[in-house]
Every structure is written in C-alpha cells, then in structure tokens.
Amino acid sequence: MSAQQAQAELIEEFGLFDNWMDRYQYIIDMGKQLPAFLEELKTPETKIQGCQSNVWIHHESRADSVHFEATSDAAIVSGLIAVLMRIYNDRPAREIVATQPTFLEELGLDKHLSPTRSNGLHAMLKHIYAVAEQQAVSG
C-alpha cells in the first residue's frame, strides 16, 4: 500500500463517524496502539520543537525506507502521531517527500484542532519531511 492509498483509507475510515467527538476518540484510540518508545530515545535531538505537548520522533534509515518511532505525553497528540506513522512510516524517502498531506484538509483536521495542536502537527510533518529529504538526497 502506498502513502496515497494509506491517506485514502484513513479518510474513508473517518467518514464512518458522524461527529468530531467520535473522530477524536478514534484518534486517541489509534494513539494507544503506538509501539512502545524507549526512554533512552527521549533526547533533545529527538524532541520536536513547536509542539505544546512533549513529542519525540526517532528515525533510522533502512535500505529502502525511513523508519520512524514516536511518542507524546498527550493522548490526542499520540493519536496524531499514529495517523502520521500510518501514512509516512517505513516508506521510501522519495515517496514521503512526494506525498502531500491532503488528509489534513480532507479530514478537516486543521479546522478541528486547536491552533497549538495544529502547529504541533505541522512541526511533526516538517520534521518527517526534513528527514526524508535528507535521506532522498544522500540515498
């Protein structure tokens, strides 16, 4: 499944919910399913600036993809991380760079998140793209 297909599937899933309270709960539930994040990965280098909550994103380059691990101390932000991981994790760097986050507008996330959460989401996206761009150039 490509990143574009992952976005389309996510948009379809969110379409099953009638209201934003149910969508928020779904996002929170997604966050609860994130893999455990090792404490030793919580370093100043992996901490994302621009997020109201504490967010850490660790990455490693693999032969043909970029692997991300991430966590937050806030439930809704953990869910947003899960959304991003579903779309961008373990994908080739060039695919990550080429995949615009159309799900933000299509789901209405930018409209329904507080400004600080929206800023944090964009900070996480910026970091993911920066990592992928760096790997695409060097890979």
Domains located in the chain, CATH noted: 3-138 (3.90.1010.10)
First to last CA, the chain: 22
Q: Hey, what are 113's tokens?
A: 């998140």
In 3D, which of 92, 76, 65 has the Cα closest to residue 124?
Answer: 76
- Catalytic positions: 51
- Categorize the per-residue pLDDT at 137 as very low, low, confident or very high, splitting at 50, 70 and 90: confident
pTM recorded for the entire structure: 0.93
d(CA 139, CA 126): 19
The highest-confidence range among 22-26, 61-65, 112-116, 133-137, by mean pLDDT, is 22-26
- Confidence at residue 50, expressed as pLDDT on a 0 to 100 scale: 85
Helix, strand or coil, per DSSP, at residue 61: strand
Helix, strand or coil, per DSSP, at residue 18: coil
More confidently predicted of 47 and 113: 47
Give yes or no for a contact between 128 and 116, defined as CB atoms under 8 angstroms apart: no
- Categorize the per-residue pLDDT at 60 as very low, low, confident or very high, splitting at 50, 70 and 90: very high
d(CA 123, CA 38): 21
Give yes or no for a contact between 121 and 113, defined as CB atoms under 8 angstroms apart: yes
